[in-house]
Structure 1
């Protein structure tokens, strides 16, 4: 595999796209996540291309993604903090099944950090301004 000096770990853009494709097939079939995503995603190939660009930006440090995923997730009230554990579980399953172990672990660690950031951000941004912070 060819790795650019800026990449976080050894993976290709094609592998990223492949993982995203497999992952969203599982999301669509999931009893909890499927309906939430289906309520918001009108064009699955377009969504998968967007998320592939997100991961290429995050992993390969390509400048191919622009957007505010936190704002997107917070603006959808049916996206719940508890959904991120399900999302990450499915994501880890796909990573472990489709990638070499080291790459799966590296990408999984990055996904865990990003997912936890989204989960805690949603909790914080949705609570009343005068409420004490939720620390879980």
Structure 2
């Protein structure tokens, strides 16, 4: 029982570490995946977070008519914080496009936040 709890804790820690420098951006679907990086860099510049460097961009889920969330892996935690702090200005300029930026959280952390927000 104790070993199982320890393993769960280690697994949760590793998952948090893996997601530490990631953000999820909900944005319009692009014609080509290479356009996603240009779009993200344009958003960053628009919200005065143009010092970001992107390691990788991954569209999540299967392609449908609806936009898919996009996981953006940044170079540093500082870049992630800057992007998230400045993301609130998107509400004014991109509200018609429903573009928003959120932290990349595990399903368990999302559930905890949802529960805490309702309680």
Q: Which TM class, normalised by the smaller chain length? A: 0.3 to 0.5
Tell me the TM-score normalised to structure 2 length. 0.33
Higher helix share: 1
Tell me the TM-score normalised to structure 1 length. 0.30
Higher strand share: 2
